[in-house]
Structure 1
């Protein structure tokens, strides 16, 4: 019995230390964010070779520092680990941990953090990055920061193009497609769209702006000229008309 009590006390102390470190890292992140916003440093435009996003905004007060990103990843990984441990304990002893889960104390109310591999709509999946979140809105905001998008991400799609609207449909470490509001598009369709735009611009540059002005005109059918029958035909018998 004493051994069991010592083991429980040891586990409780370990959990207290993890939660203390978690709060400490969150506090440090808030300080770094305050310093970054207070500095109001200007950003720079960096060209890329991606046709969908040819220019990326780098630096500035809106971009988190490497130290801040590292702390955010550590916090999200720790929260996800605590959530997984809590789920395992709930399965092993549901009668005890169901009461703990319903408690209002922050010690046992760990967030349901999920990590996904997100990539931009129209890109290849291997160009994605990991993102975390406890809700769909938080996941979209984290995807915007992780993928360095020019606008806020608005829609999540599954790899087969089905829109994700429920948090329960998102599984840990699943592949999701992030859209800025446009419909789902595969990488092949995106390349074809870029090629069409490139051909359009090339034709206008080589042959002038009028080369792409396509005008379709319909021909008007002329009215047939039908002569009225002679009034003398009505006076002749049918036999004479046939002859």
Structure 2
């Protein structure tokens, strides 16, 4: 007896198991399916795995938002006081330069402070004698200490911003690289209004000390890579 099912002929002799034979027509016509190339998955190949960070919990989100707010308040409060002191001393240094080293007026130079609290003079055309004068004047005016205090304040604000979610997303600024990021004469130019205190203007012609800080951070600092929640300043 023969039974045809889906192009397959089932031939059975009474008392024996059925034997299947296919018909002459293939079930599916066309080219065979391409075989996958497994060479990329050979033992010697390089495979990069990317880890997806878990979503923050409501508690982590709250801690993150609170840290950002506290850092913002610090930037507009205590840090602004430190900034104003450094800006006032920087303005006094500019006045001294105009009287005792007027040749520097036409040069592109600036000052910062290093991790040891020492004045750093920036500018390719500044001579060794001119740099020595600027460092001495900075110390005499109290600018060097004011810059060092401001450095500590900036690091304090960054630490506050990290108290919520850790370092991810925060500015990668340390005592060692502060001098490469922050420039006090540029800071003065950004915040110097035509008249009045260092407050910032509504029309954007000059910036508040907090905005000017972010301007310099954005220009020369990088952020710690974000791998989960971010705690931005």
Superposed pair shares fold, TM > 0.5 = no
Greater RCO (Cα-Cα under 8 Å, separation 6 or more): 2
Indicate the structure with greater helix content.
Answer: 1
TM-score, with length taken from structure 1: 0.26
Indicate the structure with greater strand content.
Answer: 1
TM-score, with length taken from structure 2: 0.27
